Amino acid sequence: MPEGAADLHEPVLRAEVVRILSPLTGKTVVDGTLGLGGHTEALLQADETVRVIGIDRDAEAIALASQRLARFGSRIRTIHGNFRDLGQHLDDIKIKTVDGLLLDIGVSSLQLDASERGFSFRRDGPLDMRMDRKGTQTAADWIHTATESELSAIIYRFGEERYARRIARAIVSARECDRITATTQLAGIIRNAVPAKYAYRRLDPATRTFQAIRMFLNDELGALEAGLAAGFERLIIGGIFVVISFHSLEDRIVKRFFREKARACVCPPKLPECICDKEIEAEILTPRPLTASPSEIEANPRSRSAKLRAAVRLR
> If binding is defined by CB under 6 A, does position 35 make contact with ligand SAM?
yes
Under rule CB under 6 A, how many of the chain's residues touch ligand SAM? 23
Which residues 171-210 are close enough to bind ligand SAM by CB under 6 A? none
- 28 touches ligand SAM by CB under 6 A: no
**Shortest reach from residue 68's CB to ligand SAM, in Å:** 9
3-class SS of residue 165:
helix
Asked if residue 106 binds ligand SAM (CB under 6 A), the reply is yes
> Which residue's C-beta sits nearest to ligand SAM?
35
Find, among 310, 129, 111, the residue nearest to 212 by Cα.
129
Concatenating the DSSP letter of every residue in 115-159 gives: GGG---TTS--BS---SSTTSS--HHHHHHHS-HHHHHHHHHHHH
When asked if residue 37 is in the footprint of ligand SAM (CB under 6 A), the reply is: yes
Eight-state DSSP code of residue 55: E
> Burial code of 61-83, b = ≥16 C-beta within 10 A, e = fewer?
bbebbbebbeebeebbbbbbbbb
- Could you tell me which of 231, 229, 255, 232 has the C-alpha nearest to residue 307? 255
Among 24, 29, 44, 56, binds ligand SAM (CB under 6 A): 56
> Which of 5, 11, 194, 296 contacts ligand SAM by CB under 6 A?
11
Give the one residue of 104, 128, 161, 296 binding ligand SAM; rule: CB under 6 A. Answer: 104
Q: Does 130 bind ligand SAM (CB under 6 A)?
A: no
* CB of residue 249 to ligand SAM, shortest distance in Å: 14
Q: Cα separations (Å) of 84 from 188, 293, 302?
A: 35, 30, 25
Q: Which of 131, 154, 290, 312 binds ligand SAM (CB under 6 A)?
A: 131
CA distance 76 to 29: 10
Q: Does 33 bind ligand SAM (CB under 6 A)?
A: yes
Cα 90 to its chain centre, rounded Å, is 20
Which positions touch ligand SAM (CB under 6 A)? 9, 11, 32-33, 35-39, 55-58, 61, 82-84, 104-106, 108, 131, 223
